[in-house]
A and B are shown apart, each in its own frame.
Chain A
Amino acid sequence: MTRTLSMKWSLLLRKEIWEHPVLSYRLPVGFAGLLLILSLVSAVLGNEFLLSNSGEWMADIEVNGGDVDLANMGPPIAKMGSAVAAGFGFLGLLAGWSYLVSALYQERQDRSILFWLSLPVSDAETVLIKGVLGWLVIPAFYFGVGWAVGGVMTVIASVAATWVMSLSGVLLAAIAAYGANVFDLIALVVTQVLWSAPFLAWTLLASQWANRNPLYWVLGVPFAATLIENALLREAVMTDWFWSRVAGNPELGSEGAILVQASQMLLGLGIAGVLVVLTILIRRHCYDRLP
């Protein structure tokens, strides 16, 4: 048989991307293009603005109240590029979550669900493919695009600085610093992705369960649980734990965060696994919700 499981899963992933082109790739690529255009425009116009008619530098550059060492502008420029990459990573998490909200709900809203059910694709495959796309693929793609854009913006800013201020070595220093930051960035995005796993898995389950807007379930049930827990126990230990997975962990950016919080990560992943299994079971046994 020439068809392999990996080919099947890759086709199922592509099918999801075909179905959601805006969220999957058009939004980050479009946003990246816009940022690049703005970077180029600001590099050209900004330089013209900052230069006097006689061609001399007119501005004092200060960062945090102190003068910038112009000879060492590479690392600060790289930091700006890294911030763009990180921003794309978090935008990817948001886009992935947004996809998961409707992933299993939307497919039941029209009769094409009968076509998908008539294919030899199991409920587990369907749920896992959608989960992987929203949880991993979309954030990873956004981060990849962001990293590329951040890199190009770093180059544009470095070239502009080199050109206007006649500095040497800025470009190479910026690229080196940007390259060195990539591992920290990946660690940051990966830990946030792992940290949010229970919330994203709950979102997937709510998307399967909901007969109306799944957002009511995604946010409404935890909110109601928080109120009940507060009323009964006068504290909200469990729901606080849940909401921390929604907001992200502020300590995750710190050094060694993965090791420090390993037990919490594993607990979250375990709970996410249970929620995904429940989603598969609901999908298998609740077909009466078909259109």
Chain B
Amino acid sequence: MNSIVQGAANAPTPLVSVRSLSKTIKGKQILNDVNFDIQPGRVVGFLGPNGAGKTTTIKAALGFTGYQGDIRVMGLSPKRQRHQVMASVSFISDVGILPRWLRVDQAIALMAGIHPKFEAEKARALLAESQIGERALISTLSKGMVTQLHLALVLALDVELLVLDEPTLGLDLLYRESFYRQLYERFLSESRSLLISTHQIEEIEFLLSDLVIIDQGQILLNERLESISEKFQTVEVRPEAVSDARSKGPIFERANLAGAVMIFSNQENQDWSALGRERQTSLAELFVALVGGTNKPSKRNQEIRS
């Protein structure tokens, strides 16, 4: 597994640097020696099954929870300097963290008075494009509108890093599409970075430049997207070649009507034409391969085969 776990790039000044991050709650190891960096201008997908440690890692990186290890965000320690970190980082959690008793205009006034990098006019302009009235109470808004409002507040901040923890959970497809489109058009730039934790990999795949996969508190994969296609090979294997393909040690296998789909790691010089057709590895399949398969075809896949 260690061959898979490698640092992304070795750029000199990462926005976020996480080293030897560990956390134990009530005797249970939640995070175990987590290491990764986020470089300026990168969009990092942070994936993992439920309970993998994604939210705990994010909370630790923002100083919302205690931890062992060393985390630096813009060179600051979130444990001791959370409020200084949050001047350059913004955060959207799953829907519903905006206080329900607050009105929209109060939220804007509050951000304008508190946050040194907030532009109230920009927030109002963004909200003018929506159905959200400035005098509306947040408790009267739909889930989608609350997320829209939170996004407008965040997009009106001139920050270097935006952290999203399951930001579109419970939203319908239209809101989700609009959310990620706005992020792409209005937030991303060469100097700004994005960390997204989500289960909906397909929806963020077009945004990502890096991928970090975590499971049971440990990092399974930490790669730039361009190197993923070099390291992992996906082959649509013909039925008669399934046995031969298995002998090459796939890390993932899924049966289908036309034979099987298999993912191999670090076999880029192989000629796959004798077994079937090589194609681009999808992040969803890679995720299942690493988390569900743990370097070997999962039990479920074996059941499918039998």
Chain A interface (Cβ < 8 Å from any Cβ of B) = 1, 3, 7-8, 10-12, 14-15, 18-19, 110-112, 114-123, 125, 285, 287-288, 290
> Does the CB pair A290–B64 fall under 8 Å?
yes
A7 to B118: give the CA distance in the assembly, Å.
Answer: 14
B87 touches A120 (CB 8 A): yes
Choice from B83, B96, B106 contacting A121 with Cβ under 8 Å:
B83
B91 in the interface (beta carbon within 8 A): yes
Return the contact of B83 from the options A11, A120, A285 (Cβ within 8 A). A120
B1 contacts partner chain A, Cβ-Cβ < 8 Å: no
Subset of 9 A-B contacts with CB under 8 Å: A1-B116, A10-B113, A11-B110, A19-B99, A114-B93, A118-B89, A120-B83, A121-B86, A125-B83
With A8-B114, A11-B113, A18-B106 in contact, do A115 and B99 touch (Cβ < 8 Å)? yes
B97 within 8 A of A: yes
Binary per-residue interface labels of chain B (80-92) against chain A in the complex, 1 for a CB within 8 Å, 0 otherwise: 0011101101110
Q: Which of B84, B90, B116 contacts A118 (CB 8 A)?
A: B90
A114 CB to nearest B CB, Å: 5
Q: Which residues of B contact A120 (CB under 8 A)?
A: 83-84, 86-87, 114-116
B101 x A115 contact (CB < 8 A): no
Shortest C-beta distance, B60 to chain A (Å), equals 9
B11: CB under 8 A from chain A?
Answer: no
Let me know if A119 and B114 touch, CB within 8 A: yes
Asked whether B75 is an interface residue with its Cβ less than 8 Å from the other chain, the reply is no
Contact A112 B97 (CB under 8 A): yes
B66: interface (CB < 8 Å): yes
Distance of B1 from chain A, by nearest CB (Å): 29
Any A CB within 8 A of the CB of B25: yes
A122–B89 Cα distance when bound, in Å, is 15
Within 8 A of A (CB), among B195-223: none
Q: Which of A7, A112, A117, A123 contacts B62 (CB 8 A)?
A: A117
For residue B106, which residues in chain A have a CB less than 8 angstroms away from its CB? 15, 18
- B82: nearest residue on chain A (CB-CB)? A117
Is there contact, CB below 8 Å, between A119 and B98? no
Residues of A within 8 A of B97 (CB): 111-112, 114-115
A11 touches B91 (CB 8 A): no
Task: Report A142 CB to chain B, min CB distance, Å.
Answer: 22
Chain B residues, Cβ within 8 Å of A116: 99
Scoring A3, A7, A110, A114 by chain B CB atoms within 10 A of each residue's CB, the highest score goes to: A114
Q: Told that A15-B106, A120-B116 touch, could you supply 16 new A-B pairs with CB distance under 8 A?
A: A11-B109, A18-B101, A18-B106, A112-B98, A112-B99, A114-B64, A114-B97, A115-B93, A116-B99, A119-B86, A120-B83, A121-B83, A288-B25, A290-B59, A290-B64, A290-B65
Closest residue to B56 on the A side, CB-wise? A288
**Chain B residues near A10 (CB, 8 Å)?**
113
- Taken together as a complex, chains A and B put the C-alpha atoms of A133 and B128 apart, in Å, by 34
From A8, A118, A288, residue with most partner B Cβ within 10 Å: A118
Q: Which residue of B lies closest to A1 (CB)?
A: B116
Are B114 and A11 within 8 A (Cβ)? yes
Q: A18 near B83 (CB under 8 angstroms)?
A: no
The answer for the CA separation of A118 and B78 in the assembled complex, in Å, is 11
A118 and B114 alpha carbons, distance in the complex (Å): 11
Interface contact B91-A114, CB-CB below 8 Å: yes
Given contacts A287-B66, A288-B66, contact A119 B93 (CB under 8 A): no
Q: Are A111 and B96 in contact, CB atoms less than 8 angstroms apart?
A: yes
**Set of chain A residues within 8 Å of B111, measured between Cβ atoms:** 119
A290 to B55, CA, bound (A): 12
B102 touches A18 (CB 8 A): yes
Contact of A3 among B63, B65, B113 (CB under 8 A): B113
CB < 8 Å neighbour of B116 from A3, A15, A115:
A3
Asked whether B98 lies within 8 Å of A115 as measured between CB atoms, the reply is: yes
CB pair A287 B64 closer than 8 Å:
yes
User: A115 — which chain B residues lie within 8 A by C-beta?
Assistant: 93, 97-99
Give B218-239 interface residues, CB cut-off 8 Å to A.
none
Ranked 6 nearest A-B pairs via Cβ: A11-B113, A118-B91, A120-B87, A112-B99, A122-B83, A120-B86
- Chain A residues, Cβ within 8 Å of B110: 11, 14-15
**Nearest chain A CB to B114 CB, angstrom units:** 5
- Is the CB–CB distance between A118 and B83 below 8 Å? no
Is B114 in contact with A121, judged by CB distance below 8 angstroms?
yes
B100 sits at the interface (CB 8 A): yes
CA gap between A111 and B92 in the complex, in Å: 12
A119 → chain B closest CB, angstroms: 6
Shortest distance between the CB of A121 and any CB in chain B (Å): 6
Question: Within the complex, what minimum Cβ distance (angstroms) separates B171 from chain A?
Answer: 16
The answer for the CA separation of A287 and B96 in the assembled complex, in Å, is 19
Chain A residues, Cβ within 8 Å of B62:
117-118
Considering only CB atoms, which chain B residue lies closest to A18 in the complex? B106
Does B93 lie within 8 Å of A111, measured CB to CB? yes
Q: Which residues of A contact B82 (CB under 8 A)?
A: 117, 122-123
Q: Are A118 and B86 in contact (CB under 8 A)?
A: yes
**Residue of B whose beta carbon sits closest to that of A126:** B83
Residues of B within 8 A of A14 (CB): 109-110
Residues of A within 8 A of B103 (CB): 18
Minimum CB–CB distance for B13 against chain A, Å: 21
- Alpha-carbon distance between A111 and B97 when the two chains are bound, in angstroms: 5
In Å, the complex CA distance between A285 and B64 comes to: 9
B66 surroundings in chain A (CB, below 8 A): 285, 287-288
